[in-house]
């Protein structure tokens, strides 16, 4: 009986974690990019600024999608103005930011 109850509880726990997104793959997304763009704690930033502090509503980034080194430019801003740590170019965070910034093109 105890084993059956434990098994049932375990299955319920796993099912609730799965439906809540606890097992969802961490993949880049526009939503995540938008959140990071507006986060003053992006990459451990200590300046209390976010990307949006200098680029409100993406201002000035309309042509950033053309930049072949967009990840490098993002890291320059993070390490400089935001006083944070550069992101790994292949990280979900960086790819989400790139996706979001590219969505701003006109």
Question: Which domains are assigned to the chain?
Answer: 25-102 (1.10.760.10)
Torsion, Cα 57 42 54 37, to 10 degrees, reads -10
Q: What is the DSSP letter of 79?
A: H
Residues of the chain with pLDDT > 70: what percent? 75
Q: In the predicted model, is pLDDT for residue 77 greater than 80?
A: yes
- In the chain the first and final C-alpha atoms are separated, in Å, by 64
Model confidence at 97, pLDDT cuts 50, 70, 90, reads very high
Residue with tokens 């490098």: 72
């Amino acid at each position: 009986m105890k084993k059956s109850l434990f098994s049932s509880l375990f299955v319920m726990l796993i099912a609730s974690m799965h439906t809540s997104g606890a097992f969802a793959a961490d993949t880049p997304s526009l939503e995540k990019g938008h959140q990071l763009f507006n986060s003053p704690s992006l990459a451990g930033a200590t300046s209390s600024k976010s990307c949006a502090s200098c680029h409100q509503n993406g201002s000035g980034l309309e042509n950033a999608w053309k930049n072949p080194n967009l990840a490098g430019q993002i890291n320059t801003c993070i390490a400089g103005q935001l006083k944070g740590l550069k992101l790994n170019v292949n990280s979900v965070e960086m790819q989400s930011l790139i996706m979001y910034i590219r969505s701003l093109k006109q």
